[in-house]
């Protein structure tokens, strides 16, 4: 049997990796429609909401109201895998503290319609913010955007670029990556088959929405960056890069022993988190430049 020429083998690997990274979808967006942890109770009332994205796609969200007038409403943008039935419990502790939550499932996730792409999930986040802004102010109070992991990168671009950014009182990101291209390169380096291609093939990944290129535009909106120093999914160096690129007012909390998206599992961080929220909604913010 004649050996396959090296050039043809290289071409095959290139085509394989190109298909893997086409549109960044396969590596960054990993939704499912399974109800995870059906026995789990959120411990707070939860209501379904439906939001229409700009192209007409119907998006499912969970609304967690407060029992009294809310101090603020938090738009929660979750990470890249599964759906809200996995992630929503991470913010269900907030309504009893006086902060109601709107938690969005991007298209293709859970019961939301559509097929996910990087461009479209950013469009979906914009639609969720617009839905909140359209509600009576007395029903929402100030609006805070909170994103974890992929959701942190989406949240950063949203608050940096949205025409509604002046309606946002604070941005909180937890375990976010600074660059789509950088995190793709890091993941390629972990597998022997893709290690040799980590640099050339990472450039197939678009950095159009890279948080590190947008985060300076968040100012003067208060910014909080949280990241665990033991995060095995997104290295803490991403938080440090984001903080370096951001402008004041900004805070960086490196959580000792913290893992991926578990900063608020730590009681001391949870107390500081609530203090940050309170200060963010009580201090007026100079409207940012559109």
CB 179 within 8 A of CB 187: no
- Nearest in space to 92 (alpha carbons), one of 163, 137, 40, 49: 40
Q: Does residue 4 surpass a pLDDT of 50?
A: no
Would you state the pLDDT for residue 1?
38
pLDDT in tens, 215-231: 999 999 999 999 999 99
Q: Which helix (H) or strand (E) holds 102?
A: strand 99-104
Domain limits at 102?
6-30+47-282
Would you state the pLDDT for residue 23?
45
Please give the tally of structural domains in the chain: 1
Would you state the pLDDT for residue 38?
82
Q: Does residue 70 surpass a pLDDT of 50?
A: yes
- CA distance linking residue 87 with residue 66, whole number of Å: 19
Rounded percentage of the chain residues whose pLDDT exceeds 70:
81
Q: What are phi and psi of 125, to 5 degrees?
A: -65, -40
Task: Quote the DSSP letter at residue 28.
Answer: H
Would you state the pLDDT for residue 166?
96
290 found inside a domain: no
pTM of the complete model: 0.88
39 found inside a domain: no
Q: Locate tokens 């394989």: which residue? A: 16
Give the confidence band of 286 by pLDDT, cuts at 50, 70, 90: low
Give the confidence band of 37 by pLDDT, cuts at 50, 70, 90: confident
137 found inside a domain: yes
pLDDT in tens, 178-217: 998 888 777 665 654 554 555 456 556 668 899 999 999 9
Task: Quote the DSSP letter at residue 2.
Answer: P
Q: Does residue 141 surpass a pLDDT of 60?
A: yes
CATH of the domain at 221: 3.40.50.1820
Tell me the C-alpha to C-alpha distance, in Å, between residue 197 and each of 6, 17, 22, 52, 204: 15, 9, 15, 40, 11
Query: Average pLDDT for residues 69-96, to the nearest whole number?
Result: 96
Would you state the pLDDT for residue 158?
99
181 found inside a domain: yes
Query: Average pLDDT for residues 86-108, to the nearest whole number?
Result: 97
162 found inside a domain: yes
């Amino acid at each position: 049997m004649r050996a396959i020429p090296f050039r043809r083998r290289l071409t095959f690997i290139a085509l394989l990796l190109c298909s893997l990274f086409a549109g960044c979808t396969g590596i960054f967006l990993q939704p499912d429609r399974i109800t995870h942890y059906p026995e789990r109770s959120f411990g707070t009332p939860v209501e379904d909401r439906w939001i229409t994205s700009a192209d007409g796609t119907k998006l499912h969200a969970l609304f967690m109201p407060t029992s009294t007038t809310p101090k603020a409403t938090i738009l929660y943008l979750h990470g890249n895998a599964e759906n809200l039935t996995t992630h929503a419990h991470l913010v269900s502790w907030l309504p009893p503290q006086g902060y109601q939550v709107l938690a969005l499932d991007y298209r293709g996730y859970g019961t939301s319609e559509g097929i996910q792409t990087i461009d479209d999930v950013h469009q979906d986040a914009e639609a969720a913010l617009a839905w909140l802004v359209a509600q009576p102010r007395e029903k929402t109070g100030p609006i805070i955007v909170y994103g974890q992991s992929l959701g942190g990168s989406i949240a950063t671009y949203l608050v940096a670029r949205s025409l509604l950014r002046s309606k946002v009182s604070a941005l909180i990101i937890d375990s976010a990556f600074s660059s789509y291209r950088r995190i793709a390169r890091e993941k390629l380096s972990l597998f022997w088959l893709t290690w040799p291609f980590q640099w050339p093939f990472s450039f197939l990944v678009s950095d159009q929405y890279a948080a590190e290129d947008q985060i300076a535009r968040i100012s003067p909106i208060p910014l909080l960056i949280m990241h665990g120093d033991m995060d095995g999914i997104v290295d803490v160096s991403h938080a440090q890069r984001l903080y370096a690129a951001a402008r004041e007012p900004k805070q960086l909390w490196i959580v000792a022993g913290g893992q991926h998206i578990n900063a608020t599992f730590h009681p001391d961080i949870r107390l500081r988190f609530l203090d940050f929220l309170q200060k963010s909604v009580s201090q007026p913010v100079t409207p940012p430049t559109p």
